[in-house]
Every structure is written in structure tokens, then in C-alpha cells.
Chain A
Amino acid sequence: MAYKYLSGSQTYIFRDLKDLMAKASMLRSGDQLAGIAASTEKERVVAKMLLADVPLKKFLEEHLIAYEEDEVTRLIIDEHDAAAFQSVSHLTVGGFRDWLLSESATSDILKATASGIIPEMAAAVSKIMSIQDMILVASKCEVITRFRNTLGLKGHFSTRLQPNHPFDDLKGIAASVIDGLLKGSGDAVIGINPATDSLKITGELLIMLDALIEKLNIPTQSCVLSHITTTMELVEKGYPVDLTFQSIAGSEKANSCFGINLSMLQEAYEATLGLKRGVLGSNVMYFETGQGSALSANAHHGLDQQTIETRAYGVARKYHPLLINTVVGFIGPEYLFNGKQIIRAGIEDHFCGKLLGLPMGCDVCYTNHAEADQDDMDNLLTLLAAAGCNYIMGVPGADDIMLNYQSTSFNDALYVRRLLGLKPAPEFVKWLSDMKIMNSDFTLSGTRDLTKLINLL
């Protein structure tokens, strides 16, 4: 069905819901590259006005990627929780925004509604929301997950310690881990991106992290972010896998470019659950996503990059992840051109994920060929912390020497915790205090025991 709007002598026509969603999206280079962005500012706002009048129910009927063609669509539709949807089913997209902002949409109500909302509804409402709208609503959502500690509690803000090394040198990685721990980083996970896909190296990294966590008795979990097939091979061989990682996207075709499908994810989920390594809970999956990945794989089906990104959250939701984060500025300026586009995308992704009931984190990051700098990252970091983001990355000096991009530093997390009075996961807080790494007011303690750590290397 086409959507039409008459303004003076000009008629604006949008081919279908997919076209309306794309044109209603805030400007970003990826949608321009795909040739689906609004061509004028007025066309964009007209699309938003028409989108605001679309009933939420419409998204259950008009599938943006055909049900028959795409297993992600089938997952989203088949798993939709009609009972949870009941309380908002009468609303339009615009009415949904008003409801989300109202006092009646409390944390508990939002939690109860999450499984009734499908990704396309979240994407649609975000398109007519401002940054402050999304921050406010996201801050009402609390998504708690557990493995060896408790993540996502209100008033807490966690970090993934990311100690990458260009040759996967064990000592080089351990050096970065030590630095991070001494700056209070690593409660979400100690997670390495391996430089190679080698089974042997990945296994060695897992063993090293496992030994480190055990020796220092750290209430956290480890992960080597290898392809799911590599991790499964290591699980079979009995390596100490805490979390299974995978990059995921919002269409079957894009996932197949990543070398995965839903049944592989299900199998990996069950295998990892079966290891029973979690102490406090059984959230065992870690996912990464990012706007632009589907277009980059030429698997976007004409959807705008923000909408198809939310469909990746629909995939993630099925497997109750401990962690999921958008790697928002990693993809480059062809998809998110500058700081402004990266910031908006980060806030959208966090908001949509939270609305869907996911433990959203964000890799606040940029590449050197994007029009962005540290000031943009400071802005996004501060906004996300205010929005109640579950975690960010912790990279030594913000400089990832393996992936060649800038993320957030250990000090960035210290800054934002101090500024907003946020704590790491409660179990980790206790450990940091026992190790005399951090004081109770979140300042660094000078009395930590370095010799104990030296012995580990």
C-alpha cells in the first residue's frame, strides 16, 4: 500500500511501508549509498508524519522482508508474544511514542511489554523520537543478565575489557588485561578479538583467560570472539568456553554472509548452556551487531540500515544473551559519515535494543577515515551512560592496535562512573575493593598489590 501526503501543490508518495521507514530515517550515508534515503529534509519529515499514523499492528501484517524468503522474518513473527502486545496493540507509532514517554510506562510495564514488541515497531518509533526521548525511555528499561556476576542493574555501568594484540601474543594480551583490571575494567567480560581464525591460538587464548580469572578469583567471564564454528569445535574438544560469541545481522542473507544461520545459533546456544559454567545465571551468548552490515553484504532487501539493525536484535533475543552491543562507528563513513550520524545511531541502537528487552551495550567507536574524533565519542559515551547503557568497551588508551580503530579507554569508564555515580557489577565492586584497586568513591587506589600480578606473567 502506498502512502500519500499533499502539501500545497506537491504530493509526496511513498511506495510502501519499507519506503516510508527508509525516508523517515535520519540522514545517514549508508541509506544514501543504497539510494533509499529521503531526497529533501521536507520529504523526511513528511514521511515521519505519515509513519506516526501507522498502527503498530500493521508491522505484524506487512512484513518488510517476505516471510517466505527470510528466516529472520519468520523468527520475529512466529515468536511474537501476542499477550504482551495486548496493552499497546491499539496504538499507532505516534501514539506509541507518547505512551513510552508517559508516566504510565514504568520500568515494570516496559519489561512486561518487551516481548510483544517486534524490531520493526521499535525502529519505527525511534524514527520519530529525538535523542532526549530515546535516552529517557531507555533509562526506564532495566535488563539484567547473569553468568558469574550481575550485569545491567540500575546505577551500574560495566565494561568489556578488550585486550587485542596484532599477533595474538599471549603475554601482550595479558599485559593489556592487567592494565585494564588495575583500572577497574572487565566486569562485563574479558573479551579478545583474535587476529587469526586459528583453532590452536583461539584455544590457547581461552586457556590463558580461564587461568587468569581463576587465579585472581575475578567474578567475571571470558570470551574469545572467534567465529561460532571455531568456538563450537573448541567446546567439543573441552576448552573452557564461558560465552559463545557471534556477529549477527538482520536478514537471513546477511547472516549467511557471516557464515551462520538460526539453527547454528540454536545449536551453539544449547551446547554452551550444556557446559554449565555460569555460577549466578545461564546467559551464555555474546552478540555484536552494527548498522550498515547488511548493506555491506548486499543483503539489506531495500530496508534502511537502522531498521534492519533492529532485526538483528530480534535474532539475539531468541538466545537470551549475557551481552549484546552495537559496534556503532566501526563500519566507516560510507555508512555513518560523521560524529553526528554515529551518535544518533548509537542512541537509536541502544534504545531499540532496550525496548526489545536486550542487555544492550555499545562499542562507542570511530575509524580514522570518518569525520569524527574523541569529542564525539565523549558525547556519545556520556549520553549512553545517562540512558542506562549496560556496558561499553575498555581498550588501552582507546587505541585498538589490532583492529585499527578507536574505542573507549579504561579511563573513559572511570570518568563516566565518577561523573554519574555509576558502579561496576556488584560482585566486581567487591573484588576491586578486596584487591585494593578502587576506593569506595570510585577513585583509583594507590595501594594495590603489583607483585601479586607480576607473578602471573
Chain B
Amino acid sequence: MIEEEFWNNLKKFTNARIGLRNSGTSIATTDQLRFQLSFAEAKDAVQKELDENLISEQFSRQELPLYYLQSEINNKAEFLYRPDLGRKLNTSSASLLSDLNPLPSDIAFVICDGLSASAIHHHAVRFLSEFMVRNAAYSYSPLAVVRYGRVAIGDEVGFLLKTKLVVVLIGERPGLSTPDSMGIYFTYNPVPGLTDESRNCISNIHNKGLSYAQAAKKLSFLVNESLKRKISGVLLKDKSDDYDLLTP
């Protein structure tokens, strides 16, 4: 009795798997199976393919044209062990963008499955609407949706789309408790071959993490700074802000 009350009190402060019941020195059956369920969800999220029909439907009310692209990767297994190929567009995708001969823009959004297509299915369109409402004054490139994409592929897409700032929405590595977390990365003046220090990141966008409004607010601020100061990456960091936003 005191035991149950004790753990219920502690569980208010954390989502960690504390107070698991024991069988002998091992974890008791219910908790053991609960863990397996979460693990199965995370594994399924990694294997899940991007659903283009779903995305087209979700984005049907957006005015921007939508283009489906693919990296040099051809299947999920290859995606997991060839990060280098996940950073490059395949030939047909690259020529599709070049042939568009797009008008220069302020911002290009690139939507990548990354390690969790579920994150994109659940959060991409809703986040994007939240951001666009706040930032109607900018000019935007067509939307690019990339299958089997890593973060850095955004730089190539942004370069071909002739944008000042590329913003990548990508499925993050699924955790056991968060199989559908979305991350946002952006680069000013994107060109292929840039590395992590040129980018800024906002992570943990999911139902128990950053809300769409919080993330959109943060990105709006950073995008504005980035376009004004013509920089991105380490030079643009603002750590105190990160913490304020993460505190519930």
C-alpha cells in the first residue's frame, strides 16, 4: 500500500520506467511485456515507409506545389548503413529540380522520412501550417518530400531550388517512449557538402515534447535572425532560449 503510493508519487516527476515490479530479482511479466510493446512500436517506426498518398492528402490545402524526390538509397536496409548515400539526391530527383528552373526564394521546406516516417505523417503538415501562418511575408520554394533522406540532403535540395534558407523537417531516431519525434534543421545559403556546424537544430517535436506552436515560434525567431544576419549554425546559437522552451 505504502509501496504503491510511494511509486505513484515518484512517477509524477518522470516518464522513466521506475518502480517496476520484480519477480525475484527480474522484471515482472506485465512490465516486461510493456517494454516489448514499446520496442516493437519503435522498430516498426524505423521500418515504416513514407506514405506519399497520405502526404498528398494532408498537403492538399497547401498552395505550394509538392515534389516527391528520393536519395541515392533504394531500400530501408541500405538507408540504415549508408548514411553517405542518404545525403545525396538520385539522378532523376536532381534533374527534376534542375529542370524546374525555380524562382529564387527566401525559404525552402524539405520533408524527409529520416529514421521515422511516422514523425512526418503525424507532425509535418500541422507544424508547417503553424509556421506559415506566422510567416506569410516570406517567399517560398515548392515543397520537396524526400524518401530515404538524411539531414544533409536538404542542402542539395535547397541549392537546386535557389533558396536563401533551407529548412528540413525529418523523423528523428525513435526512442522507446517516443517513436514519432520530428526534428528541424536549417542552413543559410545551402550548398552540397556542408557539415553539422553550418546548421541549427530544433528537436523533440512530438506529443509529449515541443508543441507545434513552441517549435514554430522558435523557428520563426531563428529564421528571422538567420536571414537578417545571413548566417546559420554555431554562430547563431542561443542556449538559454533552448532551455526556456523545454521547461514545461
Q: Which residues of A (317-342) have their CB < 8 Å from a CB of B? A: 332-334, 337
Shortest CB-to-CB span from A91 to chain B, Å, is 37
Q: A167-B247, A404-B178, A415-B25 are in contact. Are A334 and B83 (CB under 8 A)?
A: yes
Q: Which residues of B (207-248) have their CB < 8 Å from a CB of A? A: 209, 239-240, 242-243, 246-248
Contact A175 B247 (CB under 8 A): no
Bound: A367/B46 CA distance, A: 11
Q: Say whether B37 faces chain A, with CB atoms less than 8 Å apart.
A: no
Which residues of chain B have C-beta atoms less than 8 A from A399's C-beta? 16-17, 35, 38, 175-177
A 390-422 binary contact with B (CB < 8 Å = 1; else 0): 000001111111001110010100110110000
Bound: A156/B60 CA distance, A: 62
Q: Say whether B52 faces chain A, with CB atoms less than 8 Å apart.
A: no
| Contact pick for B173, options A179, A369, A374, A417, CB 8 Å | A369
The stretch from A8-16, A70-78, A131-139, A193-201 touching chain B is: A193-201
A 71-115 binary contact with B (CB < 8 Å = 1; else 0): 000000000000000000000000000000000000000000000
Which residues of chain A have C-beta atoms less than 8 A from B36's C-beta? 374
Q: Say whether A213 faces chain B, with CB atoms less than 8 Å apart.
A: no
Bound: A33/B240 CA distance, A: 37
Contact B80 A163 (CB under 8 A): no
Q: A176-B16, A454-B6, A457-B10 are in contact. Are A368 and B173 (CB under 8 A)?
A: yes
Q: A175-B10, A368-B42 are in contact. Are A418 and B25 (CB under 8 A)?
A: yes
Q: A195-B246, A405-B175, A411-B25 are in contact. Are A29 and B81 (CB under 8 A)?
A: yes
Bound: A179/B27 CA distance, A: 13
Shortest CB-to-CB span from B6 to chain A, Å, is 5
Bound: A174/B243 CA distance, A: 20
A 107-132 binary contact with B (CB < 8 Å = 1; else 0): 00000000000000000000000000
Q: Say whether A169 faces chain B, with CB atoms less than 8 Å apart.
A: yes
Q: How large is the interface on A (under 10, 10 to 19, 20 to 34, 35 or more residues)?
A: 35 or more
Bound: A370/B80 CA distance, A: 8
Which residues of chain A have C-beta atoms less than 8 A from B16's C-beta? 163-165, 172, 175-176, 179, 395-397, 399, 401
Bound: A368/B46 CA distance, A: 7
Contact B176 A368 (CB under 8 A): yes
Contact B176 A406 (CB under 8 A): yes
Contact A167 B246 (CB under 8 A): yes
Q: Say whether A442 faces chain B, with CB atoms less than 8 Å apart.
A: yes
Contact A196 B11 (CB under 8 A): no
Q: A374-B39, A401-B177 are in contact. Are A198 and B243 (CB under 8 A)?
A: yes
Q: List 6 A-B contacts (CB under 8 A).
A: A165-B14, A332-B173, A368-B46, A368-B173, A404-B178, A457-B10
Q: Which residues of A contact B (CB under 8 A)?
A: 29, 32-33, 163-167, 169, 171-176, 178-179, 195-198, 201, 332-334, 337, 367-370, 373-374, 395-401, 404-406, 409, 411, 414-415, 417-418, 442-444, 450-451, 454, 457
Please list the 3 inter-chain residue pairs (A to B) with the smallest Cβ-Cβ separation, ordered nearest first.
Answer: A397-B17, A404-B175, A172-B14
